[in-house]
Amino acid sequence: MKIAMIGTGYVGLVSGVCFSDFGHDVICVDKAQHKIDALRNGEVPIYEPGLDELLDRNVKSGRLSFTLDLAEAMEGVDAVFIGVGTPTRRGDGHADLSYVYAAAKEIAETLKGYAVIVTKSTVPVGTNREVERIIRETNPDADFDVASNPEFLREGAAIEDFMRPDRVVVGIESERAKDVMAEIYRPLSLRDAPIVYTGLESAEMIKYAANAFLATKITFINEIANLCEKVGADVQAVSKGMGMDGRIGPKFLHAGPGYGGSCFPKDTNALARIGQDHASPQKIVETVISINEDRKRQMVEKVLDMCDGRVAGMKVAVFGVTFKPNTDDMRESPALTIVPALIGKGAKVHVVDPQGRREGEDLLPGVTWEDDAYAAATDADAIVLLTEWNEFRGLDLDRLARGMNTARLVDLRNVYSRKIAEEAGFTYAGIGR
């Protein structure tokens, strides 16, 4: 199959590269000259483990290419995937669909022959209907079908998620479109990956409902962690016991400083607004959003409590600022609340993160960036472990403690046990323990 992928951001680039690895001919389109130039030179603009090698292999095979010219990409195409951003719109919490609708109009202007127009971006219910309307209005003679194919890619594990998905969701309304989508995903069918065919609206809703539910699990266990601290329970033991129930499952039951990233904050906000617009308020989701914002501020108080109520003039080492490990993504990271709050209270914050500096330098003004954890902790009055990178899981705690002015460890990911930390000389605070 020949596929055009519009957008070379996280969703578009990962999807395009993986489709080419399936054996399809994929041409990725973007308006940004610098991104296309970089990709043609084999430079990947995002950090995703394994993506650079996969891109290089498929470019060399001739199955993957990049262009600024949509008309070029549309020649003889079987399917056009829209993989542009849908950020939260300022002011009202809705998803900003301007990039999706602009792409639909440009597709209509260049479409020749039959193609399936596939929305890969996360979009609210009704968006695919509007994409269809825009294309028909712009080009009444266009021969096409619209499909909804939401992505379920975890940053840091996106290639594995694409190649071995829990399920593939395809919203369609014609057998012709189903045949095209079945052929595109045939390599996964051969691996017995479940492919779920639904209507357009159901496919759109599945994405939002899934992300909102996972965000709810995270928020639930964070609330339980607060209670555990009050009653003397251990949230890790509670999570393990809960997760062994097959109806609940162990994933997303890890207490921490709150969820962030490109999906959960944006999608929960959008789902809440959709509910309000249709007089069907999503009260659980609205509460999850509120609790998650409060959670980040609570973590600042936890650091202050460890430091006897004040951090003014103290050096605080922060280990990890991306919203999760194995990504360079800073979007909605708890660090964007916690670090500025500490600086605002007079702390001298030194940060170390394996991939976060590129985005973090602009997003976290006033911090000092260090190359490794030991340098960041030298002469520090406290360490805040904020992102559980593997590099921070096996640190020499004795060495860290010896180099500090005051050995305090605020472990917001429960990477270390209290016993091990205290044996190394730390005063220790974890989450829900």
Q: Which residues are part of the catalytic machinery? A: 263
207 is in an annotated binding site: yes
Q: Is 283 annotated as a binding residue?
A: no
**Any known ligand binding at 122?**
yes
β-strand partners of 385: 319, 411
| Joined tokens for residue 264 | 């959960």
Query: What's the order of all strands across the beta sheet hosting 427-429?
Result: 368-369, 348-352, 315-319, 382-385, 408-411, 427-429
Q: Residue 322 in 3-state DSSP? A: coil
Contact 364/331 with Cβ under 8 angstroms?
Answer: no
Alpha-carbon torsion angle 49, 52, 55, 57, nearest 10: -100
Q: Is 117 helix (H, G, I), strand (E, B) or coil?
A: strand
**Among 205, 185, 184, 208, residue whose Cα is nearest residue 195:** 185
DSSP string, 283-300: HHHHHHHHHHHHHHHHHH
254 is in an annotated binding site: yes
CA 208: distance to chain centroid? 14
What's the rounded Cα separation, in Å, for the pair 337 and 384? 13
Is 392 annotated as contributing to ligand binding?
Answer: no
Distance (Å, whole) CA 4 – CA 156: 24
Is residue 368 part of an annotated ligand binding site?
no
252 annotated among ligand-binding-site residues: yes
- Is 153 annotated in some ligand binding site? yes
Any known ligand binding at 182?
no
Two structure tokens written together for 311: 């951090």
Query: Is residue 30 part of an annotated ligand binding site?
Result: yes
- For residue 34, say whether it is annotated as part of any ligand binding site: no
- Ligand-binding annotation for 266, yes or no, is yes
Q: Is 404 helix (H, G, I), strand (E, B) or coil?
A: coil
**Under the phi-then-psi rule, with left for phi > 0, alpha for psi from -120 to 50, and beta for the rest, what region is 156?**
left
346: left (phi over 0), alpha (psi -120 to 50) or beta: left
Q: Is 155 annotated as a binding residue?
A: yes
Is 255 annotated as a binding-site member? Answer: yes
Q: Is 296 annotated as a binding residue?
A: no
DSSP state of 82: E
Annotated binding residue 35: yes
Residues making up the annotated binding site for substrate are 152-155, 207, 252-256, 260, 324
Residues making up the annotated binding site are 30, 35, 86, 122, 152-155, 207, 252-256, 260, 266, 324, 331
Residues making up the annotated binding site for NAD(+) are 30, 35, 86, 122, 155, 266, 331
